[in-house]
Amino acid sequence: MKYMNVTNYVTKWNTCLNYVKRNNSTSVKTKWQSVVGLEVHAQLNTESKLFSGAQNTFGGLVNNCVSLFDAAIPGTLPVLNRKCVELGVLTALALSCKVNEVSSFDRKHYFYADLPAGYQITQQRAPLANDGVINFQDGEEAAALVKELVLIVQKLGACSGRMEEGALRVDANVSLRKFGEPLSTRTEIKNIGSIRGVAGAVRHEIERQRTILDNGGHIINETRSWDATNKVTIAMRDKEVVQDYRYMPEPNLPPLRVNLHTKEDTQDVISVPLIKETIPELPEDSRRKLIEEYDLREISAIQLVNEPALLNYFYELVSDVTRNPTKVANLLLNDLLTVLNKRKVDVEYCTITVNQMKESTDALLNKQINLDIYRKLLDELFDRPIDFSVLEIIKEKGWTLESDETVIEQKCKEVLDNNPKLVKKYKEGKVKILNSLLGILAKTTSNKMDMAVATKKMEELLKK
């Protein structure tokens, strides 16, 4: 037996996600307009497979996730997984699709070594839902669209969205045409496995086709693949002979009916209005909320929503109104991310607890520590046990900021006494010398002075 982990993908969005990418550059090259269509395959996040009771686990033991039906043993029949339909409807609703009251299944035939039955079961002629709309930020890039889609399916819990595990895959169709002319021959780039890959593959393919067309060549209809290492698309097989899939209605599955109108939900008929009630706050709503209710800048809102873990920190932190949302957002997006990047830890796997985050942020906002120490503190937390007390670390490391004015004044005096030349220069009118003096203060006190107070004191002393 050669068949392992036969997984089922639901292809739903190939029709609803086609869009035209406008080319904004104004060089000579603009005679070409590129058209990009995306086909997204999202693997549903369910315990078992779409048509069988076999487990649906990534990295499962070889041949353990295969039922008799998956291996196409004669006489076995498909049984539709209710959970998959629910998730399908949920996703369709979130993408503002038209959900169809009756949909049906079709067999798509082709011979391939990983296809034991010789056909796939799909919904070719009457799908569960169609004609969706997706609103996304950040320009017309194909990658942004995929990112938005990933965020949506993750938020819905419909799909893990882990492209590196193949849970979501993208095929991109690219063609170039002159403005106002009909669509021309396209190429298809198969199985792109990362968001960066989508951006790179589409960009490269547009460039490749443009070069060919500019040199008077013509594009052939073919399937290409994306080489992520060398950043080029490579021809896989040509499509000169068009594969005829000989679609036929799947006779072993009756048409799928859903209840579009009432909340009556039975074993066999799923209520769509009932599912509609369960749609969570979608990325688009989150961004609007951040901008309107928390007064964040658009870019901060986009960045926060792009990282669900950061967004969660944000909501937790600003639940206490004393913390300023803009400051909190900046701390998360600048300082926490810097620390994570340095440590090469994915945001998703950040081990700092909400509690620790609150304590650290409060320490900073109450001027117990300064920004420099704040970063050190976050970094330190990774080496400590889970939920280790932040205050204890500050105490242990002696990171508390000195805010006693007399102490600060004393230290300032020392700096001035030790640097008479600089003081002289200042008094001669070089006011910028103040910064140098403050720098010396910070250095000699290992950054532990409250610099706002120190600046004030230093100025006072200099003016005496």
Partner 1 sequence: MKGELSIEKTNLFLKLDQIDKQEQQAIDGITIAVKDNFCTKNIPTTCASEMLKDFIPTYDATVYSKLINNGACLIGKSNLDEFAMGSGTVDSIFGPTRNAWGYNGDTDWRIAGGSSGGSAVAVSTGVCVAGIGSDTGGSTRNPAALCGVVGIKPTYGLVSRYGLIPLVNSMDVPGIIARNVEDATRVLNCVAGPDQLDSTTIKRDFKPIELKDIDLSNVKIGIPSEYHCDGMSEDVIDAWKFVEDLLEKEKAIIKKVSLPYTSVSIAVYSILNQCEVASNMARYDGLEFGLRTNEDYSTEELYASSRSQGFNNVVRSRIFAGNYFLLTRNYEKYFLKALKLRRLIADDFKNVFNGENCVDILLTPTTLCDAPLYGDFVSKHNRDQCAFQDYCTQPANMAGIPAVSIPIRLSKNKLPISLQLMGPNLSEELLLNVAKRIESNTNTEILSKLNISLDTLPLKCQELISKVATEQVTLSVNRLDPIAISLQQSRQIAKNLEDEYEILKLKLKNKELQVKIDRNQRFMDDLRKELDSSIESLSKQSPNPDNIEECIKQMRQKVASYEESYKKATMKFSKLSVPDSLLPKSLQAQLATLASLREEESMWKQRADDVLFTRQARDAFRRRK
Query: Rule CB under 8 A: which residues touch partner 1?
Result: 1-2, 68, 71-80, 107, 109, 111, 113, 116-119, 244-248, 251-254, 268
Least Å distance, CB 353 to partner 1, is 30
Nearest residue (CB) to partner 1, 112 versus 179:
112
Least Å distance, CB 114 to partner 1, is 10
Residues 6+ apart with CB under 8 A from 358: 316, 317, 320
Nearest residue (CB) to partner 1, 28 versus 62:
62
Tokens 């002075």 correspond to 449
Find out whether 394 and 377 touch, Cβ atoms under 8 Å: yes
Tokens 């990282």 correspond to 307
Rg (CA), the chain: 30
Least Å distance, CB 39 to partner 1, is 19
Least Å distance, CB 227 to partner 1, is 24
Nearest residue (CB) to partner 1, 139 versus 254:
254
Distances (CA, A) of 120 to 108, 243, 257: 5, 14, 21
Least Å distance, CB 5 to partner 1, is 17
Nearest residue (CB) to partner 1, 243 versus 262:
243
Nearest residue (CB) to partner 1, 46 versus 154:
46
Least Å distance, CB 14 to partner 1, is 18
Nearest residue (CB) to partner 1, 250 versus 380:
250
Nearest residue (CB) to partner 1, 252 versus 444:
252
Nearest residue (CB) to partner 1, 2 versus 421:
2
